[in-house]
């Protein structure tokens, strides 16, 4: 969980069947080869702290046979212990140099590597019951989370590392400053839990912010019914488009005051005061 995916559809690459020496090292080298120069355009910050590596792997709790997918394996700090636990791992890496290093180290029985942009990747091509893990890029974390959320029906869980502030927004309750579009759009689909916080010193180069790991589990049968998903997304987006606006003004092209009141929503309220169920009820009334 190291590099930051950004562009290019990519290709699948199998690992090297001949590198027996490196295969025997799987799980024993904690941080990978730090001679690789982190690339700003990919937002690379490499996880190097053995304590946090162990804690994240323990939180994921991978088992043999899991359909486990890692986004941005980078130098392989998590890749190696994950392979050791599961025997096989699918990874998505945009940095061709890092992808080549992993392909040279791990053989095809251990690793299926896609040189690709996770923002464009079709995760449905990897089968069902996916367990996705990754260090998501801070600069595109929201779009990538929304992309991953599209595959909720085939996901078992997501365990992702992000900027701490993003995780705070993901788990935020209504009527708090962190609560917003990301909170609603994820909480309507997932149960979300913050697992641990990582200091900048756990990475090389050290980022300027703290990071956090969150686990997202699809709600399945507990997911609220939404009559029109696109309309729901528009209502949520408009409600938080300008946070100072009342819903009367923010939603004026989508809902009348009468419709707001029929949904039990005060026209003078602001978007952050509405719970997820309130947004669902309003969007279903408008559908």
Domain with residue 119: its CATH number is: 3.40.50.150
Q: What is the spatial distance between Cα 89 and Cα 191, in angstroms, rounded to a whole number?
A: 25
Angle at 165 between CA 159 and CA 273, to 5 degrees: 105
The pLDDT, as a whole number, for residue 12 is: 61
The pLDDT, as a whole number, for residue 204 is: 85
The pLDDT, as a whole number, for residue 35 is: 53
Domain identity same for 183 and 272: no
Domain identity same for 171 and 271: no
The pLDDT, as a whole number, for residue 44 is: 59
Domain identity same for 83 and 140: yes
Q: What is the spatial distance between Cα 191 and Cα 200, in angstroms, rounded to a whole number?
A: 27
Q: Is 91 left (phi over 0), alpha (psi -120 to 50) or beta?
A: beta
Helix (H, G, I), strand (E, B) or coil at 274: coil
Q: What is the spatial distance between Cα 4 and Cα 26, in angstroms, rounded to a whole number?
A: 23
Let me know if residue 5 belongs to a domain. no
Helix axes 79-86, 50-60, angle to 10 degrees: 40
- Domain boundary residue, one of 222, 243, 278: 222
Contact 68, 86 (CB under 8 A): yes
Domain identity same for 161 and 177: yes
Domain extent at residue 257? 229-286
Give the CATH number, domain containing residue 267: 1.10.8.100
The pLDDT, as a whole number, for residue 53 is: 96
Let me know if residue 49 belongs to a domain. yes
The pLDDT, as a whole number, for residue 34 is: 46
Neighbours of 109 (CB within 10 A): 13
Domain identity same for 109 and 146: yes
Q: What is the spatial distance between Cα 171 and Cα 179, in angstroms, rounded to a whole number?
A: 8
This prediction's pTM:
0.85
Let me know if residue 181 belongs to a domain. yes
Contact 271, 247 (CB under 8 A): yes
One digit per residue, the tens of pLDDT, for the chain of length 287 reads 543 434 334 556 544 443 333 333 333 333 444 454 444 444 457 899 999 999 999 999 999 999 999 999 988 999 999 999 999 999 999 999 999 999 999 888 899 999 999 999 999 999 999 999 998 878 889 999 999 999 999 999 999 999 999 999 999 999 999 999 999 999 999 999 999 999 999 998 888 899 999 999 999 999 999 999 999 999 999 999 998 899 999 999 999 999 999 999 999 999 999 999 999 999 999 99
The pLDDT, as a whole number, for residue 45 is: 79
The pLDDT, as a whole number, for residue 11 is: 57
Helix (H, G, I), strand (E, B) or coil at 133: strand
Q: For residue 212, list its beta bridge partners.
A: 162, 197
- Domain boundary residue, one of 192, 222, 252: 222
Look at the chain and report how many structural domains it folds into.
2
Let me know if residue 6 belongs to a domain. no
The pLDDT, as a whole number, for residue 68 is: 98
Let me know if residue 245 belongs to a domain. yes
Domain identity same for 182 and 250: no
Chain-centroid distance of CA 171 in Å reads 13
């Amino acid at each position: 969980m190291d590099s930051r995916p950004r562009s290019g559809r990519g290709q699948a690459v199998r690992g090297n069947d001949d590198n027996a020496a490196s295969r025997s090292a799987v799980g024993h080298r904690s941080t990978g080869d730090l001679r690789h120069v982190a690339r700003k355009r990919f937002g690379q910050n490499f996880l190097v702290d053995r304590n946090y590596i162990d804690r994240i792997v323990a939180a994921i709790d991978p088992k043999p046979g899991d359909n486990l997918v890692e986004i941005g394996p980078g130098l392989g700090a998590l890749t190696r212990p994950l392979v050791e636990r599961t025997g096989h791992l699918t990874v998505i890496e945009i940095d061709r140099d890092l992808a080549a290093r992993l392909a040279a180290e791990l053989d095809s029985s251990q690793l299926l590597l896609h040189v690709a942009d996770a923002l464009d990747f079709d995760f449905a091509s990897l089968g069902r019951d996916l367990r996705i893990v990754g260090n998501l890029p801070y600069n595109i974390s929201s779009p990538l989370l929304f992309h991953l959320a599209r595959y909720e029906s085939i996901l078992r869980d997501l365990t992702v590392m992000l900027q701490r502030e993003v995780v705070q927004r993901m788990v935020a309750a209504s009527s708090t400053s962190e609560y917003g579009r990301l909170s609603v759009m994820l909480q309507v689909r997932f149960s979300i839990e913050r697992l641990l916080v990582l200091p900048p010193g756990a990475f090389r180069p050290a980022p300027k912010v703290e990071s956090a790991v969150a686990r997202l589990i699809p709600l399945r049968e507990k997911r609220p019914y939404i009559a029109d998903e696109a309309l729901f997304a528009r209502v949520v987006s408009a409600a938080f488009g300008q946070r100072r606006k009342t819903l009367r003004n923010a939603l004026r092209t989508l809902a009348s005051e009468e419709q707001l009141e029929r949904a039990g929503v005060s026209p003078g309220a602001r978007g952050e005061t509405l719970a997820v169920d309130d947004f669902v009820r309003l969007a279903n009334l408008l559908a």
